Amino acid sequence: MDKLQESEQEMTRTIREEQEKILKKVEAIQDDMKKRDSIAQVQKAEIKKEDEVDQETKQINANALNRFRAFAGPTKTVHRLNQKIKIFVRFYYSRFEVEALPTDTILDLKREIEKKTNFPVRHQYVYHNHKHCEDHETISGCNITTNNSIVNLY
């Protein structure tokens, strides 16, 4: 019986040792996975930061381009987009002058015309060089430059 108990104890010891070895391997694998996960998270965060920086850089570049872009007028003079230009408005039998930035929209121009004529914006139609200018277009986008005339119909 002593031999049987000794044999059981030895088997139990062997099993415990094997379990401890397996647990150590499992813990090592878990630690390795944690390291990989944390490295992956850092890499994802770095990629995300790079994307955010790229988007921010693109936005800054676009804003800078819009602010400092120049366009050539019919006399080949160059006007900066942050300088007001004079626009002559023909409104039926009258003609008057409005100042606006080239980056202003046609809607902004219509509001200026409304201030001078009291005609509502929603009833105004702006034409330049026989082309209808949409409200969302910019003045420079419609090729309106300084001392150009536009037709405003009501």
pLDDT tens-digit readout, 7-41: 888 888 888 888 888 888 888 888 888 777 777 77
In a 13 Å sphere around the CA of 122, the CA atoms on its Cβ side amount to: 0
Domain map of the chain by residue range? 1-68, 72-153
Reading the block at residue 101, the tokens are 């930035």
Neighbours of 12 (CB within 10 A): 10
Reading the block at residue 79, the tokens are 């006007």
pTM given for the model: 0.48
Per-residue pLDDT tens for 93-127? 888 999 999 889 999 999 999 998 888 999 899 99
pLDDT at 119 (0 to 100): 87
Strand partners of residue 99: 86
Spatial CA neighbour of 152 closest among 87, 101, 104: 87
pLDDT at 64 (0 to 100): 62
Please state the rounded mean pLDDT for residues 40-57: 66
Contact call for residues 137 and 105 (beta carbons, < 8 A) = yes
Strand pairing class (94-100; 78-80): unpaired
- CATH class of the region 72-153: alpha beta
Please state the rounded mean pLDDT for residues 66-72: 51
Contact call for residues 89 and 112 (beta carbons, < 8 A) = no
Q: How far is Cα 72 from Cα 70, in angstroms, rounded to an integer?
A: 7
